[in-house]
């Protein structure tokens, strides 16, 4: 007899990213769905990793992460946000930003707790909540601006509310939080036992001169926050799966209790190389303008199509409606586009637990100009 499993995620199947990427491969489509660059990462950083491997940096580093890397990150936080943090007690290197978010939620949640999640939401949030026996309280972002309705947030806060997850720049929509949003968030959590999980993996991918409102800028919010980042999004190496989490010393102590029995530590050569490479500030300071050029190029070419692009102020992504083209649901439309014209996208309904369908699809523009041009030429035919 084969043992049965009482699934902790009974409603979860294969993610839409896997489905659409599989279809893209099957139909030899241009993949503007999954969020990864198709251009090379920095050769100097690659050379650094190779060099440190040959120098013998191939064994375990401390569970918290390579100390010179944590020191470089603390220096970066001070430079960018004017906040002093301890590299010893407030930073942990993790295998990616998604892992950091999962570990933060696992650290704080008990069965029956509630977590406020804004939809459309990055697809790991709600499963991360539910696998810990907690309840995701879903609040829809206002369509089509994808702004937060803070009155609705106040309405759903209860004594069981344990955390609010925020994500700026936002995946999938490219929306960003402003200072008023931070003030509203502060008023919602002040005097409560509510944590903030802040997903800031796209912190440098922000456009149009907008300033990133990192939780790290606000010491009173950082005291109750886990702030999660990704090296992969900064240095165009998403396959490295390397990130980090910053929190207050006492909460980070609890975070590390979970982390040490799950991953323990991350890839040593990458950490050693990044400790040196972080000193090259222009590499991350110029990333926003570099990616904005790609966004603007995509927007300019898309004028030749019948899609209507919504605003994107950050991230790898921009969304679009297709009301002038079809009345199909967004998943059916995305699948048909992949098969018939050879361009893969992501239906935004996949980012809602109930499948809310505003007939919007998500494009990834973190691609070479040749890839973008070839994709839009095909999109113009539909």
Tokens coding 163: 């955390």
Give CA–CA dist 248/329, Å, rounded: 44
Cis peptide bond prior to 163, omega within 30° of 0:
no
Burial (CB count within 10 angstroms: exposed 0-12, middle 13-18, buried 19+), residue 5:
exposed
pLDDT at position 340: 96
Q: Tell me what pLDDT residue 14 has.
A: 80
Question: For residue 317, what are the β-bridge partners?
Answer: 364
The whole-angstrom separation of Cα 360 and Cα 172 is 11
Burial string for 316-341 (b: 16+ CB within 10 Å, else e) reads: bbbbbbbeebeebebbebbbebbeeb
CATH code given to domain 16-41+285-379: 3.90.1150.10
Whether residue 351 contacts residue 172, with contact meaning beta carbons closer than 8 Å, is answered with: yes
Q: What is the pLDDT of residue 150?
A: 98
pLDDT score, position 15: 84
Closest CA to 361 of 344, 340, 341: 344
Cite the residue boundaries of each domain of the chain with CATH code 3.90.1150.10: 16-41+285-379
Question: Do residues 309 and 144 touch, judged by C-beta distance below 8 A?
Answer: no
Tens of pLDDT along the chain (382 residues)?
Answer: 889 899 988 888 888 888 898 999 999 999 999 899 999 999 999 999 999 999 999 999 999 999 999 999 999 999 999 999 999 999 999 999 999 999 999 999 999 999 999 999 999 999 999 999 999 999 999 999 999 999 999 999 999 999 999 999 999 999 999 999 999 999 999 999 999 999 999 999 999 999 999 999 999 999 999 999 999 999 999 999 999 999 999 999 999 999 999 999 999 999 999 999 999 999 999 999 999 999 999 999 999 999 999 999 999 999 999 999 999 999 999 999 999 999 999 999 999 999 999 999 999 999 999 999 999 999 999 9
pLDDT of residue 277: 98
CATH 3.40.640.10 location in the chain: 56-279
Neighbours of 116 (CB within 10 A): 23
Fold adopted by 56-279: 3.40.640
Length, in residues, of the chain: 382
CA-only gyration radius of the chain, Å: 21
């Amino acid at each position: 007899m084969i043992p049965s499993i009482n699934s902790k995620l009974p409603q979860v199947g294969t993610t839409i990213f896997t489905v659409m990427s599989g279809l893209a491969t099957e139909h030899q489509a241009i993949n503007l769905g999954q969020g990864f660059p198709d251009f090379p990462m920095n050769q100097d950083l690659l050379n650094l990793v190779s060099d440190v491997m040959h120098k013998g940096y191939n064994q375990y580093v401390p569970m918290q992460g390579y100390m010179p890397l944590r020191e470089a990150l603390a220096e970066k936080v001070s430079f960018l946000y004017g906040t002093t943090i301890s590299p010893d007690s407030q930073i942990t290197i993790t295998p990616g930003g998604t892992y950091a978010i999962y570990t933060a939620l696992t650290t704080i949640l008990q069965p029956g707790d509630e977590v406020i999640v804004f939809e459309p939401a990055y697809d790991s949030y709600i499963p991360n909540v539910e696998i810990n026996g907690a309840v995701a309280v879903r609040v829809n972002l206002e369509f089509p601006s994808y702004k937060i309705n803070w009155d609705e947030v106040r309405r759903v806060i209860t004594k069981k509310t344990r955390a609010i997850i925020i994500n700026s720049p936002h995946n999938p929509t490219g929306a960003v939080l402003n200072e008023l949003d931070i003030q509203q968030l502060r008023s919602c959590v002040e005097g409560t036992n509510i944590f903030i999980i802040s997903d800031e993996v796209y912190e440098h991918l922000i456009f149009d001169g907008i300033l990133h409102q990192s939780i790290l800028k606000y010491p009173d919010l950082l005291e109750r926050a886990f702030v999660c980042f990704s090296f992969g999004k900064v240095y165009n190496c998403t396959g490295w799966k390397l990130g980090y989490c910053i929190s207050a010393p006492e909460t980070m102590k609890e975070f590390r209790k979970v982390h040490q029995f799950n991953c323990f530590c991350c890839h040593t050569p990458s950490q050693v190389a990044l400790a040196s490479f972080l000193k090259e500030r222009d590499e991350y300071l110029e990333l926003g303008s570099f990616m904005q050029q790609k966004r603007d190029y995509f927007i300019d070419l898309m004028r030749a199509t019948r899609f209507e692009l919504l605003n994107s102020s950050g991230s790898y992504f921009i969304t679009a409606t297709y009301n002038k083209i079809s009345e199909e649901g967004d998943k059916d439309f995305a699948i048909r586009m992949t098969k018939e014209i050879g361009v893969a996208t992501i239906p935004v309904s996949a980012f809602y637990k109930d499948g809310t369908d505003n007939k919007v699809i998500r494009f990834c523009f973190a691609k070479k100009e040749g890839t973008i041009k070839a994709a839009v030429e095909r999109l113009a035919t539909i």
